[in-house]
Amino acid sequence: MEVKSLVSGRTTVENNVLIAPMAGYTDFAFRSLEISLGAGLTFTELVSAKGLFYGAKGTRELLYTGEDLPDETIYAENRNKTAAQIFGADAYYMRAACESEYLKNFEIVDINMGCPVPKVFKNGEGSALLADINRAERIVSECVKSGKTITAKIRTGLIRGDDVAADFAKMAENAGAAMVTVHGRVREAYYSGEPDFAAIEKAKRAVKIPVVANGGIFTVKDADDMISKTGADGVMLARGAVANPFLVAELTGKTTDMTLLRFVLSQLSVMTERYGEKRAVAEFRKFVPYYVKGEEGSKSCRVKLMKCESVSEIVDILKEIL
């Protein structure tokens, strides 16, 4: 795929290899490392607009970009290459979130219209908005009034056979959104199955704003195929970036001498500093199956890692296998 900058409204994104918002994964530690490996733009974990409105502490923590770090360079790079993703079903709270003090450092705010999980869906949020284009349009329009660069992430529909991506991309463009990301699966499919390349292509042809393709990108070939089959302006990596944190560097041509072990040690260090050791160990466990997959003795190693209660234990085991 051709690596190029993306012009999204008033904002120019350095390159067209993006890291998706992933609940439980794209915290500051993971995002900052992916930025160092060449990501043009990363996204926070999805953040509740109502949670911000009512000042929920856990919600605010998701927006951390290193503002209290002594190294201003790290903070500036993370701030400039991180977009906030918010979710909600009420245009008032969504705009209020965009205008809140919590999002003051984010130039780009992405609207989640694709989350498939039941606790979000049942509240009319995330992918549930794909069943109500008028409500979705009001949300985009109100968020645009905040003055932020507004983008949206959608799916191709709710159930197999749906194809609403083009209609929603056009709606978002007309409402003032500067970019749309299309996850090429319906809500019913969650994260499995081949992406619907045709639906992404139709969405791309329907609008003039950049369209980024997401879903099923685990290798350079996957990214090349996605671009060639859809004509999308860029790709957004999700589980593929967790399974291979260096995929972004492979796509952008970023030179790095970092090993997976060094990546993991850096990630653990930042997580421990941010959360404390006990929580860092618990949060890290979700990455374990991805990081040790394919390594010799990975099954027994995974079992050991899941039982670890300290960072030092994790490090000792990883040094043996990575």
Which structure tokens are listed for 103? 């999002």
Domain that holds residue 234: 6-252
Coil/strand/helix, residue 170: helix
Q: Are residues 194 and 215 in the same domain?
A: yes
Residues 236 and 287 in one domain: no
Considering the domain architecture, whether residues 248 and 274 belong to the same structural domain is answered as no
166 & 305 share domain: no
Model confidence pLDDT, tens digit, residues 163-220? 999 999 999 999 999 999 999 999 999 999 999 999 999 999 999 999 999 999 999 9
Q: Letter for the amino acid at 267?
A: Q
Assigned domain for 143 exists: yes
The model's pLDDT over 260-278, given as tens digits with 9 standing for 90+, comes to: 999 999 999 999 999 999 9
Instruction: Give the predicted TM-score (pTM) of the model.
Output: 0.95
Same domain, 207 and 70: yes
- Return d(Cα 117, Cα 281) in angstroms, integer: 25
> Domain total for the chain?
2
Which CA distances in Å does 257 have to 59, 232, 261, 262? Answer: 35, 30, 11, 10
Residue 1, domain member (yes or no): no
Assign residue 49 the CATH number of its domain: 3.20.20.70
Picking from 252, 278, 295, the residue at the C-terminal end of a domain is 252
| Six-digit token string for 100 | 């809140």
Q: Which band of pLDDT confidence, cut at 50, 70 and 90, is reported for residue 60?
A: confident
Same domain (yes/no): 61, 178: yes
CA quadruple 259, 265, 267, 269: dihedral, nearest 10: -150
Query: 214: which strand partners?
Result: 183, 236
- The Cα-based distances of 3 to 68, 124, 177 in angstroms read 32, 36, 23
Tell me which of 252, 279, 310 is where a domain ends. 252
